[in-house]
Amino acid sequence: MSDRNPLILRGISISEDANGNINLDDIWRLAKARPTRQPAKWKQTQAAKALEVEVQKKITNSALKENKEAFSVIYSKRGRGSTGTFAHPILAAAYAGYLSPKLEVEVREIWLRYRAGDATLADEILQRASAEENAWAGARALSRAQRVDYTDTLKTHGVIGHGYRDCTEALYMNLLGGKSYELRLKRNLPRAANIRDNLNIAELLFVGTAEALAVERIEDEGCIGNSACVTATSQSAGIIRNAIEEDRKSRKKKVA
């Protein structure tokens, strides 16, 4: 799955890949359509093939202009992690219309609101969520806001290129005990999984606090450049981790 939160349609999660392609099998299951109308069957129709060609041309031309790698606008994925037929949102909306005109309208509306960052859409989703899910979403939102402040600070203090990644890895290593790839392995997460989407509420708050402390340290010490900001982040993350461990040790002694 991508590093985005999933699209929610009729209370059902619709998964995406890293490029924003939508899982057509999720739409098929949501629609409770017949087996003869599965994505694999739809892909073989003349209309689907013609649309695929046109969308692929647009994506490829855009990628060439921006010097980026073009991706397939529809493909099937099997094995570990999310499986199914993934397609560009234009194709996904067309497939939804193939199943039901009403469903196509819903897919288009939800996707457009989602991409536009419509806050009311998130609120509608959370109204149907549990108290625990609401608490996690709140912690994730705070973490996301702090992340923006942190990366903005890195930028104004001369961090460039891989420096952003190195600062993040330094935070994970000193706070959570491993670099991002190590954390994914320990937690049995897919290779491209977003670490923060898989942290619990306490961990999200710890990460946000470490980044907030790093912002203060970088500004107070006048850190400039990749190396200095990595060091400052490491120190701040380490202080938060030490405080957490000391608190846990003191509680264990009281229980004993």
d(CA 43, CA 123): 35
- Per-10-residue mean pLDDT for the chain, 256 residues long? 58 79 90 90 89 87 73 80 80 88 78 52 50 71 86 95 94 95 90 84 93 96 97 96 91 72
This prediction has a pTM of 0.54
**Burial of 151 by CB count in 10 Å (0-12 exposed, 13-18 middle, 19+ buried)?**
middle
The predicted pLDDT at position 168 comes to 95
The predicted pLDDT at position 197 comes to 82
d(CA 251, CA 13): 39
The CATH-assigned architecture of domain 7-123 is: Roll (3.10)
CA dihedral 50, 55, 61, 64 (to 10 degrees): -120
- CA atoms 69, 75, 78, 82: torsion sign: positive
Kind plus residue range of the DSSP H or E element containing 87: strand 84-87
Residues with Cβ within 8 Å of residue 151, at least 6 apart in sequence: 164
Domain ranges of the chain: 7-123, 130-255
d(CA 137, CA 124): 13
Q: Answer for the pair 13, 2: CB distance below 8 angstroms, yes or no.
A: no
The predicted pLDDT at position 213 comes to 96
d(CA 142, CA 169): 20
Residues with Cβ within 8 Å of residue 254, at least 6 apart in sequence: none
Q: Answer for the pair 73, 55: CB distance below 8 angstroms, yes or no.
A: yes
